[in-house]
């Protein structure tokens, strides 16, 4: 069958050998044809050359090439694919196509050794001078009328019958006793015009909302004395008043010089809520309580400053529709107080990554580098030792008997048995924090701990026997 596949190498000799060589040395030409036929019969060179498209297809190629693929990878075919190895090799082909990505590395461990790994990049823990960014945000607070508020993100909003316009960066949802308020963070430099409280904004997709009036700042009429940073400022008297702030700066006498808002809260009932009301008696306006019945002020709100020694402060609230946050640092790589290290051009460098797995690098390192390892990067292994604890409860029953009068009591004594087989050592990455403080782990191996609850007998005398199983 192989000889029927054209072109055969020996048949091409006449087209390559010059005529004067063929005429002068006919035996040499015969030798070349015989030698090429020998090579063809032994190694099937032209056969494989002409069947290359078929050999590249995992489902059509010959068994010896499947064996060569396994030898190149250096790992065995997983047991799940033992009966159908071609299915496994097809997955390997897909794996090669995604070579160099984090997803490919994770898939490699799941496919070959059935292990879910974690990828850690040491560069995330390297000191970068001046990395912290001071971020101040402008937020437009609204109460939804129609549509899903999350769809405001990325859209341009416009105030109805006005020239006020801005682009929304993100949306945050705040739930208060007075209702739900959505904070639309505006993209810097996109706002024009003035947003007015009680007016309606709209966006593409049928979205509309009423602009909420919020506390935007403070007017310090009298700073008082004896206050310290951190003293809490809030509105007393009503559940709907959820505004909170704290003293941020004081002068040498303890007089308040600056206040920072921690929660803009709620204290102004939206107009569309008041218009639709059929059961509520009161509504809020500028943190004062009003009656629906006659629209007259019922109770004044009181601004309270919780302080141990402070007194005499006189503060007024300022209101606006767009509130500006006090600002915060984003990014901690430039802060020496964090868990930051200096670049060492080995582990702590830009082109390295660490794989946390349950298996030694002797098993997977070479195969990883031959398949999906990103070229030009350094890979490290962090072995994860898991603890398997047997926390089953065994019931030990104690039988106690007395002579006079005959009395029996059955007590249960549960035993909690734990046999740690090892310990777990891993990075602990906290939310909004780039790096862990240190490794954590307990180095106990094959130690049995038994916690037995105490048993007791009441009013029993003259014990005859005690048995325990």
Q: What is the pLDDT of residue 224?
A: 93
Instruction: Tell me what the mean pLDDT of segment 438-455 comes to.
Output: 42
Give 25-40 as a DSSP string.
-HHHHHHHHHHHHHHH
Q: Which helix (H) or strand (E) holds 54?
A: helix 52-55
Domain with CATH 2.40.10.380 in the chain: 133-330
Share of the chain above pLDDT 70, in %: 67
Q: Whole-angstrom Cα distance, residue 244 to residue 176?
A: 13
Q: Whole-angstrom Cα distance, residue 35 to residue 13?
A: 11
Report the 10 Å Cβ neighbour count for 443. Answer: 9
When pLDDT is cut at 50, 70 and 90, the band that residue 287 belongs to is: confident
In this model, does residue 284 exceed pLDDT 60? yes
When pLDDT is cut at 50, 70 and 90, the band that residue 320 belongs to is: very high
Q: What is the pLDDT of residue 426?
A: 43
Instruction: Tell me what the mean pLDDT of segment 404-428 comes to.
Output: 46
Report the 10 Å Cβ neighbour count for 139. Answer: 20
What ranges in 264-337 are assigned the alpha helix state H?
Answer: 271-275
Q: What is the pLDDT of residue 213?
A: 92
When pLDDT is cut at 50, 70 and 90, the band that residue 241 belongs to is: low
> Across all residues in the chain, what is the average pLDDT?
76
Q: Name the most confidently modeled range: 53-67, 89-103, 122-136.
A: 122-136
Q: Write out pLDDT tens, residues 105-154.
A: 998 888 778 888 999 999 888 888 777 778 889 999 999 999 999 999 99
Q: Name the most confidently modeled range: 40-54, 76-90, 442-456.
A: 40-54
Pairing between strand 200-203 and 156-159? antiparallel
Q: What is the pLDDT of residue 239?
A: 57
DSSP type of residue 17: S
Q: What is the pLDDT of residue 321?
A: 92
Pairing between strand 322-324 and 393-402? unpaired
In this model, does residue 164 exceed pLDDT 50? yes
Of 121-130, 170-179, 263-272, 422-431, least confident by mean pLDDT is: 422-431
Instruction: Tell me what the mean pLDDT of segment 220-236 comes to.
Output: 90
Q: What is the pLDDT of residue 34?
A: 85
When pLDDT is cut at 50, 70 and 90, the band that residue 97 belongs to is: confident
Cα–chain-centroid distance for residue 22?
75
Q: What is the pLDDT of residue 406?
A: 46
Residue 314 gets the label, from left (phi > 0), alpha (psi -120 to 50) or beta, of: beta
Q: Whole-angstrom Cα distance, residue 15 to residue 33?
A: 12
Output the pTM of the full model: 0.50
Q: What is the pLDDT of residue 293?
A: 80
Q: Write out pLDDT tens, residues 353-400.
A: 999 998 888 888 888 887 888 888 999 999 887 666 666 655 555 544
The arrangement of secondary structure in 133-330, i.e. its CATH architecture, is Beta Barrel (2.40)
């Amino acid at each position: 069958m192989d000889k029927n596949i054209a072109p055969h190498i020996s048949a091409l000799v006449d087209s390559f050998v010059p005529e004067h060589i063929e005429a002068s040395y006919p035996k040499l030409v015969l030798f070349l044809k015989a030698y090429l036929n020998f090579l063809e019969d032994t190694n099937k060179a032209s056969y494989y050359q002409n069947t290359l498209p078929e050999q590249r297809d995992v489902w059509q190629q010959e068994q010896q090439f499947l064996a060569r693929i396994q030898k190149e990878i250096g790992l065995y075919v997983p047991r799940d694919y033992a009966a159908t190895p071609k299915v496994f090799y097809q997955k390997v082909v897909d794996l090669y196509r995604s070579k160099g990505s984090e997803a490919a590395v994770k898939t490699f461990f799941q496919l070959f050794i059935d292990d879910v790994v974690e990828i850690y990049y040491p560069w995330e823990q390297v000191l970068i001078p001046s990395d912290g960014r001071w971020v101040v945000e402008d937020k437009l607070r609204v109460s939804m009328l129609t549509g899903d508020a999350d769809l405001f993100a990325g859209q341009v909003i416009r105030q109805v019958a006005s020239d006020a316009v801005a682009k929304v960066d993100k949306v945050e949802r705040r739930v208060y006793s007075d209702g739900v308020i959505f904070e639309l963070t505006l993209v810097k430099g996109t706002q024009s015009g003035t947003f007015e409280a009680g007016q309606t904004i709209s966006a593409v997709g049928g979205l509309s909302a009423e602009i909420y009036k919020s506390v935007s700042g403070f007017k310090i009429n009298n700073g008082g004395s004896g206050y310290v940073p951190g003293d809490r400022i809030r509105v007393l008297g009503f559940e709907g008043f959820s505004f909170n702030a704290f003293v941020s700066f004081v002068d040498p006498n303890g007089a308040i010089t600056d206040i920072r808002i921690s929660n803009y809260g709620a204290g102004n009932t939206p107009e569309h809520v008041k218009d639709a009301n059929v059961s509520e008696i009161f509504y809020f306006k500028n943190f004062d309580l009003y009656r629906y019945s006659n629209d007259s002020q019922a109770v004044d709100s009181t601004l309270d400053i919780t302080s141990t020694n402070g007194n005499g402060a006189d503060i007024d609230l300022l209101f606006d529709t767009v509130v500006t946050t006090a600002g915060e640092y984003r990014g901690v790589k430039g802060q020496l107080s964090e868990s930051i290290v200096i670049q060492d051009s080995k582990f702590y460098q830009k082109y390295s990554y660490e794989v946390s797995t349950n298996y030694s690098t002797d098993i997977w390192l070479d195969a990883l580098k031959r398949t999906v390892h990103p070229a030009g990067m350094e890979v490290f292994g962090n072995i994860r030792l898991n603890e398997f604890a047997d926390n089953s409860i065994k019931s030990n029953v104690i039988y106690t008997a007395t002579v006079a009068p005959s009395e029996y009591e059955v007590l249960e004594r549960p035993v909690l048995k734990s046999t740690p087989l090892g310990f777990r050592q891993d990075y602990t990455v906290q939310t909004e924090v780039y790096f862990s403080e240190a490794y954590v782990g307990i180095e106990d191996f094959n130690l049995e701990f038994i916690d037995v609850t105490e048993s007791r007998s009441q009013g029993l005398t003259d014990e005859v026997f005690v048995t325990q199983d």
